[in-house]
Structure 1
């Protein structure tokens, strides 16, 4: 039987989007963090400051596709394939399916983040794929589909330390679906317990790469955020609040004012003025001392601490776009690092036109997290009103995932980089599509 145009339309659109992405951005963009990951991949020597799975995969890709091009191609193929699979589940004409795929994939902030070789990008690509599979499971329930989702969730957890927050609602959806499909009579507390246990199992599986002999454990990576928070409160209170041994003897308020940036912690660590644990591990007493000083900030200095965190949140969610440097939003280019081979970013005319266009939009609401936060709230209200419909319930779960991942950043983020909100942006756009363009007829609606 000949396939209808509507069936292959999203895949054709995704192929066109993939081709455009490669033409515009290949071999991708490498920030300092990305270049560090590539260097680890080249030498097969990793550390757990960043979850090592991506660098491990990059190591094997680099053998037959040297440079960042292989990893770039893999992540953009995964992303566009996920979008195609998602839109392929919708009840829509061929033209509408093409339009939806291209709208989602070429949405300016998402298209601008896509070429960066950050773990955030493959993480969100896998979240797109997992969401598409869950929507497919609404139409054609099946164990294979749900197991595939579980595989995606493990990989998601293995890409970012805080990715579990995005995974828990999706794991809960799987538990509820499985219980309903098997007609088990489990109470809500038992289903919640099953969700917790499943999430813990997924996180344990995701942690296995970090236990490989080639991975050097990173001690207390939270220290760079803790010291930055202490620095902010010290400036507000006009007194140094660092525990003994964590600031060099010559550090004073004047030096701290010179170093401190309200949108990023990295400026504190240009030398050894502030002692984090990334290169020289703390002993147990030092670790406990710094943790205690950090956790006491909101209790002993609530006004200063929450003012600092509110300021960061305002910058992160785009309330003051003129204050935030453009490189906190997009980082086009390739950073040299250690012994990485010299390589140039895409310098074609097409790249310049597209990148300049994206850069011109950075200070607009399109790149502001607050817009997608409001969108998520509005969609949650609309989905709640339609909660008798299976796809509306899935949209609620998807929005819970985006918000649970994004909102804690107000307290734990160490900078105001837009990439931290990539799932809020992507999930909000996908939720709108899933809510207002329903899937093909549902076979099962537990």
Structure 2
């Protein structure tokens, strides 16, 4: 016997309903935040895309994409719209993979898209937003294949995966589980399937991503190592704890004392220590890779960590608490969001969104900025709950998909306590989104076998 008309209608609604919700969400974001909010980092990337000297402080992938958009329409708007398309398309595909009824799809959309962290971060033209949006699209495609869609769909996961891998210097750990997921799906059901073949396919994908990133880096005019900034941040923190200046002489003006540093230093960011000093600090990105200065700084950094491990760990722990915890009311709101179109050099002025909707949402953001609703730790708790549920259901599609997402989030977040230069919430955008997706997946995902 064939399917009943009611079941066919339900199946048709399940297919188009997520796309209708995604279109509505895209329209909401455009109305609320167009042309996208720009911090200094965004403005600097735009300046490079417009022809300024390129430096790999900004991932060159964003600059190249922005140049393509700039040829069509100048400004941040098209990059902002591109990231929105990636996000909403990925969410629609993910909900489609879960095979949810319309009545269930709506609260899932609202939970994932309008939880405070992804909702507020999505308003910005940031690489972090591009990263979690691209990973969401790739995850949506892979979840559809996992749930039974044709393996030909796997091709659709490649562009967002490559884009995500190129958008952040630390993106590859987040991409790694998705690459293995794609490789496993490509081999699933094949007579030649084996762990070795899966590993070979995943390794080939990662090698291709590394080669792509290397090729993009060759387009940059000035290569800037990131580690000197981190080294300087740690050295100042340890100097204050040890009450002895451990910075190399070339990183500060003569006469600088520890007490002067302590008055301006904050564990939640490496920026405040540059302001308010009588004897200034040198900007670390001017250090030439491979130079005597670079070698001296590296030795001083390692010596400080090995000589004062407790002070270094205490500093990194305070940064970690700031990164994952609730932000204090007196901290700059820019650690959470930027309601601005920051100018930079000769960039044309960008008109800010002055709609009533935008003003209302920004008042809400200001009211929430020092509450747990705009902190990462509730999402970490949610991830732990989802992990426990997913492990019990690991032989079902919903459990397996959730575990892959949580592995991606964990690998991305794990190095941040040691490597983050500031407690900016945007660094944890993908772990927050992945936690929401995994939680939804284990509660509402299909119960088919994952094998």
With normalisation by structure 2, the TM-score equals 0.91
Aligned to 2:67: 59
Verify the 8 A CA contact 2:83 2:134 in the aligned structure 1: no
Aligned to 2:192: 184
Q: Does 1:199 align with 2:235?
A: no
- Pairwise CA distance, 1:243: 2.6
Aligned to 1:238: 243
- Pairwise CA distance, 1:179: 4.0
Unaligned runs of 5+ in 2: 1-7
Q: 1:38 to 1:230 in 2, by over 3 A?
A: same
Aligned to 1:114: 122
Give aligned pairs, total. Answer: 441
Q: Does 1:299 align with 2:309?
A: no
Q: Does 1:400 align with 2:407?
A: yes
Aligned to 2:28: 20
- Pairwise CA distance, 1:157: 1.0
Query: For 1:170 and 1:179, how far apart are their aligned partners in 2?
Result: 14
Query: For 1:157 and 1:191, how far apart are their aligned partners in 2?
Result: 19
- Identify which of 236, 252, 255 aligns with 1:250: 255
Once the two structures are superposed, the pairs formed by residues 253-292 of structure 1 within 5 Å of their partners are 253-269=258-274, 273-292=280-299
Higher-RCO chain (CA-CA 8 Å, sequence separation at least 6): 1
3-state secondary structure, aligned to 2:98: coil
Q: 1:18 to 1:342 in 2, by over 3 A?
A: same
- Pairwise CA distance, 1:418: 0.3
Q: 1:75 to 1:185 in 2, by over 3 A?
A: closer
Q: 1:193 to 1:226 in 2, by over 3 A?
A: farther
Query: For 1:59 and 1:319, how far apart are their aligned partners in 2?
Result: 37
Verify the 8 A CA contact 2:323 2:423 in the aligned structure 1: yes
Unaligned runs of 5+ in 1: none
Query: 1:5-62: CA deviations, max 9, x gaps?
Result: 2221111111111111111111111101111111111116421112111122112212
- Pairwise CA distance, 1:197: 5.2
Query: For 1:58 and 1:48, how far apart are their aligned partners in 2?
Result: 15
Q: 1:283 to 1:208 in 2, by over 3 A?
A: closer
Query: For 2:407 and 2:71, how far apart are their aligned partners in 1?
Result: 40
Verify the 8 A CA contact 1:90 1:437 in the aligned structure 2: yes
Q: Does 1:367 align with 2:359?
A: no
Query: 1:71-91: CA deviations, max 9, x gaps?
Result: 112211221111111111222
- Pairwise CA distance, 1:283: 4.2
Larger displacement relative to structure 2 (253-262 or 118-127):
253-262
Query: For 1:269 and 1:279, how far apart are their aligned partners in 2?
Result: 15
Aligned to 2:3: none
- Pairwise CA distance, 1:153: 1.7
Verify the 8 A CA contact 1:28 1:115 in the aligned structure 2: yes
Aligned to 2:424: 417
- Identify which of 81, 95, 102 aligns with 1:94: 102
Verify the 8 A CA contact 1:218 1:278 in the aligned structure 2: no
Query: For 1:87 and 1:337, how far apart are their aligned partners in 2?
Result: 40
Aligned to 2:324: 317
Verify the 8 A CA contact 1:14 1:102 in the aligned structure 2: no
Query: 1:339-374: CA deviations, max 9, x gaps?
Result: 111123111221111111122112222212111111
Once the two structures are superposed, the pairs formed by residues 35-54 of structure 1 within 5 Å of their partners are 35-43=43-51, 45-54=53-62
Verify the 8 A CA contact 1:134 1:146 in the aligned structure 2: yes
Q: 1:419 to 1:83 in 2, by over 3 A?
A: same
Once the two structures are superposed, the pairs formed by residues 149-164 of structure 1 within 5 Å of their partners are 149-164=157-172
Query: For 2:47 and 2:152, how far apart are their aligned partners in 1?
Result: 37
Query: For 2:389 and 2:81, how far apart are their aligned partners in 1?
Result: 37
Q: 1:274 to 1:181 in 2, by over 3 A?
A: farther
With normalisation by structure 1, the TM-score equals 0.92
